[in-house]
Structure 1
Amino acid sequence: MIFCISALILLGLSYLLAKKNKKYQKYLIIINTMIALNYIIWRFTTISFSSVISFILGILLIAAELIGLCQFFTFQFLFLRKYNRKEKSWDCYKDQDLPVVDVLICTYNESPSLLKKTLVAALNMHYPADKLNVYVCDDGNRKEIGSLCREYGCHWITRQDTKGAKAGNINHALSKTTGDLFLVLDADMIPKKEFLIKTLGYFADEDVAFVQTPQVFYNMDMYQYNYRSDIPNEQDFFMRDVQEARAAINAVLHVGTNALFRKKYVEEIGGYPTCSITEDMGVGLLLHAKQYKGVFVNEELAYGISAQTYTDLLKQRDRWCRGNLQIMYKLWPKASKGLSMAQRLAYFDGLLYWFSSIQKMIYLMMPILFLIFAIPIIHASVYDLIMLFIPFIIGQLLIFKALSPKTRSIRWSHIYDTAMAPHLTVSILKQLFKLKIAFHVTPKETEYKKGYFQLRIVLPHIILAVLSLVSWYTGYLYLENGIITLPSYLINMMWSVFNLFALIICIYVAYQKPITHKPEQISLDAPIDVAIKTTANGAARKFPLHYYADNKAGIAHYGRCPFSIHQQIWFSYDGINYLKARISKTNSRYIELLFAELDNKEFHIYMNHYAEYLQTPYKFEQA
């Protein structure tokens, strides 16, 4: 009792000091670390030897807690630091020639219409035309993509086979290009005009090997689309916050796209490693092992399409999981020798993250096993468990609250981890036992005209939810018959309810709402005035532009609608360059315009503004 009260008082005081001034965060961390170590050491004394099953389950539970504790310590280590990046523009090149930049747009089976937007946005980037080369690296070897490249005056690179997948595709392209730097973009990642302005200047430092910007998305992810639109994209925590924390110790991960590289350093490490399906992590690891620097520019400079369904998200995470394990198995033993201790810890944390799926499965199963089979897992009094566990869990909650950014909470971490846990546990086991698994490219522009329930994906969660409900009843019967005690029953019931909450959310988001449009509508934070004429040489009128989509725009009108359906009009952002459009919809407030049959010059104008107004559905706020 004395330890529990004293620990809670110290945690509370240190937390208040840490919130008042960040320099006191270290005291909160020290106190929490001592409490956590005290708890985990005590836990080793509570292993049950009453039966073989009890012993095995006890060991599994402690292993899960150790994984969580390791993750928590690395979380403290990473987020205690602040990344102080000094902004650099390409002005540092004023006394020397600007480097030649090759843009490599990697594609396999994405639609020409999707690729066309990325291609034209890349051509529209602010950079001298004689210093910028755009290459479409087409591993699908499609004639229509070749025609698209010729139409817009960029280069089309293909190869006879697809050996090495994306890594092989990039390596092949590097053998055909001569630029000093190269920018890697996925087919759906639309760069903003200022991308090179914001990233190029860091290469004035000869030790910089690559500059990474975050993956951000202009459509909703499956949680935002199927559950709540007012939450961050579930990748924001890693892509924005974890990456910035890693950058503080020169351990930023290359995430496969939106990164500018110094070509000679990538060639020095032998190009992109082809031993893994996550070549991006591998190339970053090898460059760090050579003591080169990776810079992270935490700005939205390119926008892509997030996985829209539970199935698509799972395919993506399965690939990332297995690829990270492959990298650590094949490249880590040698590469780690060139890393600092801080970098090793950051990469170890990245590996440990995937094993947290096994940890989550253990946490989901333990209260069920206890309440259904009355198997003793912890050999200790409930009083001792509560007195030591409460300071331990309160300490972790306070640390998370003090150090974590606004893109993640304990509740949402629990939901996200539960959603992936059953499937990624299987992925880990398959990779560890070297079972062959098909390679999946994350689908883009998915369309479903009718809603449907993804039963196969969420079946493990349904089974766990049903077992939880069954366990409540069987646990009650054990309690009535004196087989288990009331405190044990209540503790496991609370644990089970906490788990069931996440399972229900996972089941809920498994119902995929209809997706009847390829791109998401972009609502502007503040409407801008655009000019509209009813004839090519007529007088222009101004209207406020409220939203923007793939080939559509929505303007507001007041009073009676001045246009008719299917009427042709001329639309302009700047009052100089006009695009032909037709009125596709009208209502009491808005007029929707449809752009069609734009020629190459007009499409360049269109994409100039489309890329400028792209934004994420959720407004990211940095802590």
Structure 2
Amino acid sequence: MARTRHSDRETNTANSPVMVLLVLIATLGILLYAGFLLNPANRGDLLPYLMVIVAEVILIVQALFSMWTILSGGRDPRDFAFHRAQAMLLQAASRATSTTTPGTPPPRPEQVPMKLDGRRILVDVFITVYGEDPDKVRRTVAAAVALRGEHRTWLLDDGRSDEIRRLAAEEGAWYVRRLSGNGAKAGNVNHALSIAKGEFFAIFDADFVPNREFLFETVPFFTNPLVAFVQTPQTYGNLHTTIAIGAAYMQSVFYRFIQPGRNRFNAAFCVGTNVIFRRSAIDEIGGMYSDSKSEDVWTSLMLHERGWQSVYIPTVLAVGDAPETVEAYSKQQLRWASGGFEILFTHNPLNPRRRLTMDQRLQYLVTGSFYLTGICPLLLILVPPLEIYFDLRPMNLSITVFTWLLYYSGFYVMQIVLAWYTQGSFRWQTLTLATVSFPIYGRALLNVLTGREQKWHVTGAGRASSPFNFIIPQVLFFVFLALTSVVAIWRDADNGVLTLATAWNVTNTLILGAFVLTAAREARRLAHPRTAPAIAPVVQETQRITVIARPAGYDPGVPASVGAPRLATEASS
């Protein structure tokens, strides 16, 4: 029960008095800043003014929706039916232990039958693999095999690695290998569903090590026959690089406050890992959505359109790896942004034909348009050079710097204060990544608008390339802004006054410079790698089982505790 109380504290944080007060003040600051910008009397030259308006309106609208969603959270999705089902689940385990024949060892926790609504259930646990480090895969597989409650662990290897196959055998997991990579991760899962026959199935990425209690904290929600999936947060344990820290904290507010708020609207969506599905719900929509590299959000959208419900709990039940390199981060964000833009431009949630509630329409609209906020820094970065080189100003000359900063601070400073309160500190790495990622999101938008196919990339898989192969636009912008800063400082020195444009441009230069410096350090680290220390496996005891071909007459629907792991291939399925 300690875990549940901890989860309650996490859930209630969103509606704590201080949090509500900060959100309300931040909302007021957003509205005042919007009024200031849109006041015709404050308008300056048309081009920079329109650039500021477009960028800031996108940011303001997203911020207002975030405030609304956060204030909607705080309701614990664990109702009486959940607690009753969980108690029966635990009771079944206790009864199995107490009735063990004297002299025989009690069943292992992962072999104890689970019962939901009085019937025994079978859960398949899928671990998707595509070229990840075998040591990482082993830790995840070992932890998945040891999950409390009867289940069967499947290692779905799209990398077709014999080393991964041996690993599965050593850890006591079933191994599935496809002969093709159609549908990427979604296709991998759909192929496994043609072999595994559990009533429920969980999905973990190869680098997300699940907590032993994952099934007991999530399965009871399915006592509600309308629940299609239960999602838990992504939390990271490798925060030792600038990229990893920035990427992790960029998502933390989403998982701690936005997703719980979406529960109120039945609009919390799957994030691809640390999730468990009801098999019949996925069957109804024809399997995991495979026409997008963001199969998770699209699958959620298809389920919600069919009237299924989703549940999100903020309890951390798996810990994984954030992208550590510029390459991994760029590929991850490109994939995610492409999925969001696909929803916005090819499956507009506001279309009357979509069978969604109005709340769901708005939440998916926010999801589809969110990555536009990542393109906004591009417009704002170009505003100071317009003044420095062409004397074009976004605001009326009668507006003093103090007045502008007052309204600007009401918007941005409150966002920082809110992030500081929720995270316990301010992460400059997050601000840096949010500012310099516009080439990634711009490319994603262009790909979607032109229908260009995006190749599937796994975050952190394979040998990392030089980071400068992925940040050429950022380097060019840094050089341009650095030269512009020199020109601006020279101009201000001649005029004897420091202008806002110069301060703004120098700030942007420093942010881009910090990112370029991070890339340079990463390139040096890749050129001179250090041997990583060995990491002890999560589960010390492993069951060594020989991997053999699937025998004739094999019934994948038998309980997980019956039989030994086998090798299944696409050809034999």
Counterpart contact for 1:92–1:201, Cα < 8 Å: no
Matched residue, 1:405: 422
- Pick closer, same or farther for the CA change 1:84–1:158 going to 2, 3 Å: same
Matched, 1:501 2:507: no
Out of 346-355 and 201-210, give the one that drifted further.
346-355
Counterpart contact for 2:130–2:461, Cα < 8 Å: no
Matched, 1:393 2:390: no
Counterpart contact for 1:58–1:378, Cα < 8 Å: yes
Q: CA deviation at 1:282?
A: 0.7
Q: Which amino acid is the alignment partner of residue 516 of structure 1? A: R
Matched, 1:257 2:266: no
Q: CA deviation at 1:239?
A: 3.3
Matched residue, 1:60: 51
Q: Which amino acid is the alignment partner of residue 406 of structure 1? A: Q
- 5+ unaligned residues in a row in structure 1: which ranges? 1-17, 49-54, 522-548, 554-572, 574-578, 580-597, 603-623
Please, which of 233, 251, 258 is the counterpart of residue 242 of structure 1?
258
Give, in whole Å, the separation in 2 of the partners of 1:143 and 1:335.
50
Counterpart contact for 1:103–1:134, Cα < 8 Å: yes
Q: Which amino acid is the alignment partner of residue 212 of structure 2? A: K
Output one character per residue of 1:232-252: Cα deviation in whole Å (capped at 9) or x when no partner. 644323333332333343222
Please, which of 92, 96, 119 is the counterpart of residue 141 of structure 2?
119
Matched, 1:415 2:398: no
Output one character per residue of 1:57-104: Cα deviation in whole Å (capped at 9) or x when no partner. 432222111111111211221222233215446224566024210111
Q: CA deviation at 1:30?
A: 6.5
Give, in whole Å, the separation in 2 of the partners of 1:123 and 1:270.
28
Give, in whole Å, the separation in 2 of the partners of 1:500 and 1:92.
60
Counterpart contact for 1:101–1:180, Cα < 8 Å: yes
Matched residue, 1:165: 184
Q: Which amino acid is the alignment partner of residue 372 of structure 2? A: F
Give, in whole Å, the separation in 1 of the partners of 2:425 and 2:337.
21
Matched residue, 1:467: 480
Which runs of structure 2 are paired with 1:440-589 in the superposition (5 Å)?
Answer: 440-444=457-461, 454-476=467-489, 478=491, 486=497, 490-510=499-519, 511-512=521-522, 513=525, 516-517=530-531, 550-551=535-536
Which runs of structure 2 are paired with 1:379-390 in the superposition (5 Å)?
Answer: 380-383=396-399, 387=403, 390=406
Matched residue, 1:533: none
Identify, as 1 or 2, the structure richer in strand.
1
Matched residue, 1:367: 384
Give, in whole Å, the separation in 2 of the partners of 1:253 and 1:234.
17
Give, in whole Å, the separation in 2 of the partners of 1:244 and 1:71.
17
Out of 290-299 and 108-117, give the one that drifted further.
108-117
Out of 490-499 and 78-87, give the one that drifted further.
78-87
Counterpart contact for 2:234–2:274, Cα < 8 Å: yes
Give, in whole Å, the separation in 1 of the partners of 2:514 and 2:207.
29
Q: Secondary structure, in 3 states, of the residue corresponding to 1:274?
A: coil
Give, in whole Å, the separation in 2 of the partners of 1:481 and 1:361.
29
Counterpart contact for 1:92–1:204, Cα < 8 Å: no
Q: Secondary structure, in 3 states, of the residue corresponding to 2:72?
A: coil
Matched residue, 2:562: none
Matched residue, 2:126: 104
Matched residue, 1:184: 203
Counterpart contact for 2:268–2:312, Cα < 8 Å: yes
Matched residue, 1:432: 449
Give, in whole Å, the separation in 2 of the partners of 1:399 and 1:436.
36
Matched residue, 1:613: none
Q: Secondary structure, in 3 states, of the residue corresponding to 2:399?
A: helix
Give, in whole Å, the separation in 1 of the partners of 2:394 and 2:18.
40
Matched residue, 1:203: 222
Matched, 1:328 2:324: no
Counterpart contact for 1:258–1:302, Cα < 8 Å: yes
Give, in whole Å, the separation in 2 of the partners of 1:307 and 1:23.
32
Matched, 1:296 2:312: yes
Q: Secondary structure, in 3 states, of the residue corresponding to 1:294?
A: strand
Counterpart contact for 1:82–1:245, Cα < 8 Å: yes
Out of 261-270 and 153-162, give the one that drifted further.
153-162
Matched residue, 1:309: 325
Q: Which amino acid is the alignment partner of residue 203 of structure 1? A: F
Give, in whole Å, the separation in 1 of the partners of 2:255 and 2:240.
14
Please, which of 62, 71, 89 is the counterpart of residue 71 of structure 1?
62
Give, in whole Å, the separation in 2 of the partners of 1:515 and 1:244.
40
Q: CA deviation at 1:286?
A: 1.6
Matched, 1:267 2:297: no
Matched residue, 1:608: none
Q: Secondary structure, in 3 states, of the residue corresponding to 1:200?
A: helix
Q: Which amino acid is the alignment partner of residue 340 of structure 2? A: N
Matched, 1:91 2:87: yes
Matched residue, 1:36: 33
Output one character per residue of 1:90-128: Cα deviation in whole Å (capped at 9) or x when no partner. 224566024210111111222444323222211111113
Give, in whole Å, the separation in 1 of the partners of 2:352 and 2:175.
34
What TM-score do you get using the length of structure 2 for normalisation?
Answer: 0.76
Q: Secondary structure, in 3 states, of the residue corresponding to 1:405?
A: helix
Give, in whole Å, the separation in 2 of the partners of 1:111 and 1:232.
20
Q: Secondary structure, in 3 states, of the residue corresponding to 1:35?
A: helix
Q: Which amino acid is the alignment partner of residue 233 of structure 2? A: P
Give, in whole Å, the separation in 2 of the partners of 1:380 and 1:185.
54
Give, in whole Å, the separation in 2 of the partners of 1:23 and 1:105.
39
Q: Secondary structure, in 3 states, of the residue corresponding to 1:501?
A: helix
Counterpart contact for 1:236–1:407, Cα < 8 Å: no
Count of residue correspondences: 493
Give, in whole Å, the separation in 2 of the partners of 1:500 and 1:32.
27
Matched, 1:600 2:543: yes
Counterpart contact for 1:19–1:402, Cα < 8 Å: no
Give, in whole Å, the separation in 2 of the partners of 1:278 and 1:99.
30
Out of 179-188 and 496-505, give the one that drifted further.
496-505
Give, in whole Å, the separation in 1 of the partners of 2:424 and 2:362.
23
Give, in whole Å, the separation in 2 of the partners of 1:346 and 1:498.
33
Give, in whole Å, the separation in 1 of the partners of 2:267 and 2:229.
12
What TM-score do you get using the length of structure 1 for normalisation?
Answer: 0.70
Higher relative contact order, chain-length normalized (CA < 8 Å, sep 6+)? 2
- Pick closer, same or farther for the CA change 1:361–1:125 going to 2, 3 Å: same
Greater C-alpha Rg: 1
- Pick closer, same or farther for the CA change 1:318–1:399 going to 2, 3 Å: closer
Matched residue, 2:113: none
Q: CA deviation at 1:445?
A: 7.7
- Pick closer, same or farther for the CA change 1:276–1:445 going to 2, 3 Å: closer
Counterpart contact for 2:227–2:308, Cα < 8 Å: yes
Give, in whole Å, the separation in 1 of the partners of 2:327 and 2:26.
39
Q: CA deviation at 1:163?
A: 1.1
- 5+ unaligned residues in a row in structure 2: which ranges? 1-14, 92-116, 546-573
Q: CA deviation at 1:280?
A: 0.7
Q: Which amino acid is the alignment partner of residue 157 of structure 1? A: V
Give, in whole Å, the separation in 1 of the partners of 2:183 and 2:530.
35
Q: CA deviation at 1:256?
A: 0.7
Give, in whole Å, the separation in 1 of the partners of 2:529 and 2:432.
23
- Pick closer, same or farther for the CA change 1:297–1:24 going to 2, 3 Å: closer
Q: CA deviation at 1:551?
A: 3.3
Q: CA deviation at 1:259?
A: 0.1
Give, in whole Å, the separation in 2 of the partners of 1:42 and 1:508.
40
Q: CA deviation at 1:202?
A: 1.1
Q: Which amino acid is the alignment partner of residue 368 of structure 1? A: P
